[in-house]
Amino acid sequence: MLWPYVLLTSVSFFVFFLSHETGERLSFGITLILAMEIAKTLYGHMVPVCGELLWLELFSMLNFIFSIVALCETCVVLFLAWHTDPHLLPPWLVELVWACTPHRVIEAAKASAAVPVDVLPPERQTTDAVVPRSAAHWSLITAHKVFKAETSAASLASKFARAAGIAKPRPADFGGATRAAEEDGCERLTLFERCFTELDEDAVAGISVAEGYVWFSYTAMHASNVDIWDALDAANNGSDEILVLSEFMHACCLLLWNVPTHRLRELHTTHQVVMRQRQMKNLAYWRRAAKDLDRQARLWVPTFYFTFLMALFNLDLTDTISRTRMPSHRPTSPRCTRSRRPNRWST
């Protein structure tokens, strides 16, 4: 009765040595737990039915708990191994925590994350190039999203280009008067639509305004942060945080109408490569965390299991109450002292 439980629980620890790419890792742990439950039903008729806690019940509970621990560790490892977001918490919970953070703490975080102006040479020091803007005029986007978009996700090449004065802003002309002769308006609009389709990876027919700002920071190198936010504000007809295709193309016409198409394709490709690289960086980070968790589980989970198992085998649950029958002290009634007529059937 005992050794099958110990063997099944010990075999359940083998999942710590399997790779996260092994698809049978989760089903392996679930199968062992089901096998333990079936063994429990087979041994049920051997266990007495009583109200006290039996040693065998403690033994079964110990094996079941450690098998569940191995299964839960497998679920956590598989979650970390395929996680690509920078945070474990969902985005809505992060936004809720940020909204509940005191205003002074938020300002201190912005001040510590902002790049000082004196990092660049004096001739390249421009406030817009190195210091993020709070975009207070954009009332429908939280300051946290604006700050995150302008610091962690925006194009660094655009900042250096504006600081060095390489890219000059050009006015947009919908009539095509300043458009080059070889540029075709239909091709340009088709390119805008294609870029939107590639940005909308989830196929929800819309992207967030923060994602739109990040993309324009890569493609509209001549535009400053203020120009990009103003264009997004003008294009967003619904006054929400989602840009649909028509609003995205409107912003593209305001910011990218005079950018050559070949340069726009290269900048869009650069944006896609950088975003994919950041996802791979997050994936590699969480996979290292998953491997560290497996490495710790290989050592500590079996150690704790066999330690508790030895302690359980040395546990004595013997009932020390005496089982001898105590003599009866029933009082003798006067009626009982009267002699009775003997039963004729008695011997």
- How do residues 245-290 score in pLDDT, each as one tens digit? 888 888 888 888 888 888 888 888 888 898 888 889 889 999 999 9
User: Element (H or E) spanning 231, and its range?
Assistant: helix 225-235
Which residues of the chain, if any, have pLDDT below 50?
112-140, 169-183, 322, 324-325, 333, 335-340, 343-347
Rg (CA), the chain: 36
**122 CB contacts (<8 Å, ≥6 apart)?**
none
CA angle 210/212/217 to nearest 5° reads 95
Residue 175 has a pLDDT of 47
Cα separations in angstroms, 82 against 76, 79, 153, 279, 287: 10, 6, 22, 11, 7
Residues 194, 174: Cα–Cα separation, whole Å: 20
Q: What domains appear along the chain, each with residue ranges and CATH number?
A: 3-82+286-313 (1.20.58.390), 91-259 (no CATH)
User: To which residue do tokens 């710590």 refer?
Assistant: 16
Burial (0-12, 13-18, 19+ Cβ within 10 Å), 291:
middle
Cα separations in angstroms, 286 against 80, 123, 148, 280, 296: 5, 42, 21, 10, 15
Residue 223 has a pLDDT of 83
Residues 35, 38: Cα–Cα separation, whole Å: 5
Answer for the pair 154, 210: CB distance below 8 angstroms, yes or no: no
Residue 75 has a pLDDT of 93
The predicted model scores a pTM of 0.63
Reference 15, options 29, 34, 36; nearest CA is: 29
* pLDDT, tens only, 315-332: 888 776 645 445 555 555
* pLDDT, tens only, 18-47: 888 877 888 998 999 998 888 888 877 777
